[in-house]
Structure 1
Amino acid sequence: MTVVDDTVAREFALTVSINGEQYATIVCTPTSLKELVIGFLASEGIIGNQADIQSLTIDDYKGFAYVELNFKIEVSERTERWIGSCCGKSREFYLKQDVKVAKTIMSKTKINPNQIVNLMQEFDNKANVFSQTGGVHQAGLATSANIETTFIDIGRHNALDKLFGYILLNKLPARDFCILFSGRISSEVVLKVSKIGAGILLAKSAPTDLALKLADDLQITAVGFIRNNSLNVYTHGYRILNNGIEKNTQVRGGDL
């Protein structure tokens, strides 16, 4: 028998306080917490951009993020909730907030299959924490040629919120980018991409039927099963260019 040390994913509870009142506790990976909090608040529809925040202080020892906004909100009317990291049941579906923040994407950004394959290979190469632990999701922001940044978290929604926060902090036009994702395309992921404002979602795994209905309605190009030299285009294939398809690349899709 061989005994070796194993690397495990870190799990951390971060309580977000808004204007002095506790709003939510997020179970997350304790990295890029500033991006996480800003992306979370934007996803919740509480802020529209970074300028709405007067101050943000993170006490990672106590596990608190203290947010002061430039306006008042009725936190007491919202139920404080515990947002866990468990996939599939990680968040409740808040229809009112989703309708408020989710938007139809009019992005004209396009990409070809060879670029998609290359981006996913680069994305995989950056997945060091996943390789070590097998316990995190990864989300990335990319142009058709290069990956801008990646974030990891034990919660898939948190990884995307960190990406959202990064976009807001750096005042990037989300419509000009693609989003790379390590997991399956769920309805939750599609809604998050819609809130971020990107038109192309590239994922390693399969979609769900509700996710594809939402992607179709929100005009998001959903591409899944990007593995080796194969990919499936599920919705709004007009953003996938017919050029750049190498002989050994398999592309499946009904509306290309």
Structure 2
Amino acid sequence: MAPLIHRVVRRLGTEAARDESAGLAEEVPVALVYNGISHAVMLASPQDLEDFALGFSLSEGIIDRADDLLDCETTPSDLSVSESLAGVPEQGISLELKVTLRCFMRLKERRRTLAGRTGCGLCGTESLAEAIRPVRREVAPVVVATAALARAMAEMPAHQTLSQATGATHAAAWCGLDGAVRLVREDVGRHNALDKLIGAMALAEVDPADGFIAVTSRASYEMVYKTASAGVGLLAAVSAPTGLAVRTAESAGLVLAGFVRGDRATVYTHPERVR
């Protein structure tokens, strides 16, 4: 399934109206199925889905390391007629994941414990107690210069091919300590883009001490949690963080920088590690 589609649109403005082709970022429901049990369904861009499967599994604590994910099979499937839009059958994608028995039994116990509790609607979480989790991994105590943050944000647009074509996607980038962009993943959802990046980093066996993550979005709690859970010591965001995100970053030892634009940045936690 292509992440980019085209549609004829009508452009309006000060000049005469004109019809032309425009690019649209596709989004589809993606089900993550572990050892035959459906765990979550996310709306995502249908690209880099193996990275997404691995990154989501790691950042959500379903697996502990990359080799706990034994297999990943992508299966497109038509949704029911009642779920079609404008008479066009919609498609979904199932990621059939096979994980180690240890991880699967832990996931089953987690689901059993959560069964019947009041839902809070946070990424499939079914209890308020599960909504906010402490980071259980030490992050790399990186030190960077403000010039590195500026370089990362300046280089990212050239790597955002889907965004250039549609203007509708977020990106997450793994950057060296000098700010050079090394890996980029895109998605209609900012959390999905970060999960895809974390998966790509795991496959590339990236050392978290060698750089930082930059994102083209605000820094919510989940963005901070996923970054810290990957062992990365700095998150640079183009927009603002939330209060919970700042408290989580402070507790985890993560440097959190927001409003990273041009040569400016606002450092909310551990500012001594930004030169």
**Same fold by TM (over 0.5)?**
yes
Post-superposition Cα deviations, 1:193-236, rounded to whole Å, max 9, x if no partner, equal 11111111111111222211111111111111111221111110
Q: Is the Cα contact below 8 Å between 1:45 and 1:97 reproduced in 2?
A: no
Unpaired segments of 5 or more residues in structure 2?
1-16, 78-91, 116-120
Q: Which residue of 1 aligns with 2:136?
A: 103
Q: Is the Cα contact below 8 Å between 1:105 and 1:220 reproduced in 2?
A: no
Describe the SS at the equivalent of 2:168: coil
Q: Is 1:119 matched with 2:143?
A: no
Residue 71 (structure 2) aligned to one of 37, 45, 55: 55
Describe the SS at the equivalent of 2:30: strand
Q: How many residues align?
A: 232
Cα distance between partner residues in 2 of 1:78 and 1:21: 16
Cα distance between partner residues in 2 of 1:165 and 1:227: 27
Could you say which structure has the larger radius of gyration? 2
Could you tell me the TM-score, scaled by structure 1's length?
Answer: 0.82
Describe the SS at the equivalent of 1:47: coil
Give 1:129 shift: 2.0
Q: CA RMSD in A?
A: 2.3
Q: Is the Cα contact below 8 Å between 1:37 and 1:65 reproduced in 2?
A: yes
Greater mean deviation of Cα atoms: 23-32 or 120-129:
120-129
Unpaired segments of 5 or more residues in structure 1?
81-88, 242-256
Structure with more relative contact order (C-alpha pairs < 8 Å, separation 6 or more): 1
Q: Percent identity?
A: 25
Q: Is the Cα contact below 8 Å between 1:104 and 1:219 reproduced in 2?
A: no
Change beyond 3 A, Cα 1:78–1:19: farther
Q: How does 1:7-18 map to 2 (within 5 A)?
A: 7-18=23-34
Residue 187 (structure 1) aligned to one of 221, 226, 249: 221
Post-superposition Cα deviations, 1:31-81, rounded to whole Å, max 9, x if no partner, equal 10001011111122110112112222112456111112220422763779x
Residue 64 (structure 1) aligned to one of 78, 94, 100: 94
Cα distance between partner residues in 2 of 1:104 and 1:50: 15
Could you tell me the TM-score, scaled by structure 2's length?
Answer: 0.77
Give 1:134 shift: 2.2
Q: Is the Cα contact below 8 Å between 1:98 and 1:191 reproduced in 2?
A: no
Q: Is the Cα contact below 8 Å between 2:40 and 2:124 reproduced in 1?
A: no
Runs of 4+ aligned residues of structure 1 deviating over 6 Å after TM superposition are none
Describe the SS at the equivalent of 1:3: strand
Higher strand share: 2
Residue 246 (structure 2) aligned to one of 186, 195, 212: 212
Q: How does 1:76-87 map to 2 (within 5 A)?
A: 77=112
